[in-house]
Amino acid sequence: MKARTNNMVGIIDNIDKSRPFADHQPEKGPLYFTGKSHYQYHNRLVKETETGANDWERLTLFYILASIKKFREEPNKFLFFNEIRPNPQAFRELLSKEEQALIQLAFHLYSGRKVFEINLLDLFTNLSEENTLIAINAIKLRFNITYELFKK
């Protein structure tokens, strides 16, 4: 696994809600992206850190982090990339309650530990419809849930 370089900068956010980027992982069915910048930044993180195709924990973490515009703009404020470790102070001080709820889910799915305190009811109570889709897709991605499972 390659550590992310400090030279990486956020992609300018050009939201394009006209397409959900359903072609991302066809074997799992469509994976929802908020727009082109979310999709591109997720793929950039995966590529630059040389994250494997079956590293569900890290793919999920990057999927959620890339959905947050503030993270895309200044990723080094929020994450220590050499260790893939969060900067809890930045997350608490610079993000909204909704964004914090997504971050809590991201790190819980990534490490399995309580990096942040997470309560499932509070999580979904604090999420908009769009971020609920991100949370559900993150869970689907993390546990490698495919549409084939539902056909049985």
**pLDDT score of 70:** 96
What are the b/e assignments for 65-100, b being 16+ CB within 10 Å? bbbbbbbbeebeebbebeebebeeebbeeebeebbb
User: What CA–CA distances, in Å, run from 145 to 83, 94, 102?
Assistant: 27, 32, 19
User: DSSP letter string over 59-85?
Assistant: HHHHHHHHT-HHHHH-HHHHEETTTTE
**pLDDT score of 106:** 93
Lowest mean pLDDT among 3-7, 102-106, 118-122: 3-7
Reply yes or no on whether the pLDDT at 105 is more than 60. Answer: yes
pLDDT digit string (tens) for 37-91? Answer: 999 999 999 999 999 999 999 999 999 999 999 999 999 999 998 888 899 899 9
